Structure 1
C-alpha cells in the first residue's frame, strides 16, 4: 500500500512538473491591431514588432481590419481580449468608442494600450507615441512655409474623419499657423477615408477651385499617393508643393518627381519594436522610467507619467536628397 502511494505521489509530482515546465515555456503574448493591414507603414510596424518578439522572448500577434472600419477594428481587439492575450495594443480609429473595450480588457486581466494613434480618455495603460502631436503638426507647417512662403494658401487632405491622431496633427497645424504665420491661409481639412483614389479626386478639386493654391498636406499615409498623383496630373509640379505624413518608400517617386517637396514621419519599425517592448513591460508589471534605453535605439524612449505617453522621439524630415538612405 505504501509503495502504491509513493508511486501515485511520484506520478502526480511528475505531472505537476510537466505542467509547470509547459507553463514556464509559454511565451507572453503581445498583439498589435493597426488601423488597417496591407500598407507599407503598418507593414513596417509589423516587422519591428516581430524583431522585438524575437529579441524579448515574446509571441507577437499582428492582426487588423482590411479597411479603416472602427467597428471591425474593435471586434478584432475584443476577440484578442477574449483569447486572453497578455497585452493588446491598438492604433485607434475611433477614440470615442474604445473605452468599454478597455474596461473589458481590465476585467480579464489583459493590458490594453494604444500605439501610433491614441484614445487619451479611454483608461488605456500607456500610449506608445511616434512623436508628439504638437511636434508633428508644427514640423509639417514649418517645412511647408519654408517652401511656399508666409502668405500662401495650403490645402489639407486627411484620412478618416474619426482618426484621433490625424485630427490632433491637424489641430496643431492650425495652431501653428494662427500663432506664427498669420498670413497663411490653411483651408478646412477634407477627408478621403482610406483610399488614394478619393484623395486624388479631392486634391484635383482643391487645385481647380483654388488657382492660387501653393501647397497640399496629406495627413494620412493612404492619402499621400493620391495627393501626389493629382499634382502630377494637373501639371502643377513646381507651383503646388505636396507634403505628408508618409514613409520614404511610399513617397520616394513623388519626392524625386517634385510632386512632393518633403515628408514628415518617424521610423515605424522602431515604433513597432517599442510597442512590443512596452507590452512586455506591462505584462511583467514593470514601471516605465522617465528615460528608457531600448536595444538598437539611437536615443532613449522618454515616458511622461502625467500623460501616460511613452515617446519614440522627434519627427524626421525626408526629402529627395535623403530619401534613399531609408527603406520602409
Structure 2
C-alpha cells in the first residue's frame, strides 16, 4: 500500500513538473509613456520576441509620464495574474510598494533604466550608466573645445537611470573640462518635445555663452534641436543625446543635432521578454553569462549590464532610421 502511494505521488510530481515546463508565461511591460517612437520600437521588440518564443507578451503605454498611471497599470496586471511584469519607471520610489506587492504574489518583476530599484528580481541595462554618460561628455568636449556653458536635460528629476547618466557626464566634464560650467541645474523636460523646446529657448535668451545641450531622454534632444534651428543657431549650440533615429534623422543631416549614443529600444523590448521567460523557466543569472539578446553580461547585485551602445551620427542615422527605430 505504501509503495502504491509513493508511486502515485511520484507520478503526480512528475506530471506537475512536466505540465509547468509546458506552461508559457504572460509577460507584460509597462512603459514610461505610450505613443512616442522610442517606446513604439520597444513594443515592437516585445511582440517579436513573444512570437519567437510562442508566449503572450505585450506592452502598456500610459497616456503621460505619470508615475501614478504606472502604479495603476501594475495593480491591474497583478489582478490579472500575469507571470512577469516589466517596467521602465518614471519614479522608482513611487513604484516600490506596488512592485513589492507583485513579488509577494509570486510575480517575476523586471525593470529597465532603474538600477536602484529594490523590489525587483533584476534590472537590466543595455549599457552602463557611466559609459553612456561619459560618451556624451566626450562628444560635448570634442565639439565645443570645452568652451562656454552647457545644459543637461533628463526625463524627470527622479528618473534613476537618466540622472545616473547625467551624473556621469557632469562628473567627467568637471574633471576634464573644468572651465565649462552648467548654465543651470538640470531640467526634467526630456520626455516632452514642447517642454524641452521652451526650456531651450529660455536658456538661449538667458545665456549668451550657451555652447551645448545634453539630453538624457528621447524627446529632449528633438525639442532642443527644434529650438536651436528656430533661432538660426544650428552648429553654434551643440545638441546631443538620446533620440529616435527616425524622429531625428532630418535634424542630424541639417547639422542641428550633433549626435549621441543610446541603445536599441527594440532590443530592450526583446530583452524584457527573453529574460522574463528564462526566469519563469527557472533559469539562473550569473556574472559573465551569455544571455539571449543581451549577450555577455556583467552582474552587479541584481543589476544586469550589457554593452550594446549605438552611435548616432550622419554615418549611422539613415540605416538605424530604416530599421524603424
Matched positions, count: 306
Unaligned 5+ residue runs, structure 1?
1-18
Instruction: Select which of 129, 147, 167 maps to 2:163.
Output: 167
Q: Distance in 2 between matches of 1:121 and 1:228?
A: 32
Instruction: Select which of 17, 28, 31 maps to 1:31.
Output: 28
Instruction: Select which of 74, 77, 84 maps to 1:77.
Output: 74
1:135 deviates by 0.9
Q: Note if 1:320 corresponds to 2:314.
A: yes
Instruction: Select which of 129, 132, 150 maps to 2:128.
Output: 132
Q: Distance in 1 between matches of 2:24 and 2:295?
A: 26
Equivalent residue for 1:8? none
- Within a 5 Å distance, the mapping from 1:1-328 to structure 2 comes to 27-115=24-112, 117-118=113-114, 120-187=116-183, 188-192=185-189, 194-294=191-291, 300-304=295-299, 306-326=300-320, 327=323, 328=325
Change in Cα spacing, 1:283 to 1:21, as seen in structure 2 (3 Å) is closer
1:195 deviates by 2.0
1:219 deviates by 1.9
1:25 deviates by 6.4
TM-score by length of 1: 0.87
Secondary structure at the counterpart of residue 178 of structure 1: helix
After TM superposition, the structure 1 stretch with the greater mean CA deviation from structure 2, 45-54 or 184-193, is: 184-193
Q: Distance in 2 between matches of 1:93 and 1:23?
A: 34
Secondary structure at the counterpart of residue 198 of structure 1: helix
Change in Cα spacing, 1:112 to 1:170, as seen in structure 2 (3 Å) is same
1:137 deviates by 0.8
Aligned 8 A contact 2:152 2:213 in 1: yes
Secondary structure at the counterpart of residue 68 of structure 1: coil
Q: Distance in 2 between matches of 1:130 and 1:23?
A: 30
Aligned 8 A contact 1:265 1:315 in 2: yes
1:303 deviates by 3.7
Change in Cα spacing, 1:121 to 1:300, as seen in structure 2 (3 Å) is closer
1:29-57 Cα distance to aligned partner (Å, 9 max, x none) = 11111100111111111111111112222
TM-score by length of 2: 0.88
Aligned 8 A contact 1:30 1:59 in 2: yes
Rg bigger for which structure? 1
CA RMSD of aligned residues (A): 2.1
Change in Cα spacing, 1:87 to 1:124, as seen in structure 2 (3 Å) is same
Q: Distance in 1 between matches of 2:264 and 2:139?
A: 19
After TM superposition, the structure 1 stretch with the greater mean CA deviation from structure 2, 63-72 or 95-104, is: 95-104
Secondary structure at the counterpart of residue 32 of structure 1: strand
Q: Distance in 2 between matches of 1:77 and 1:21?
A: 30
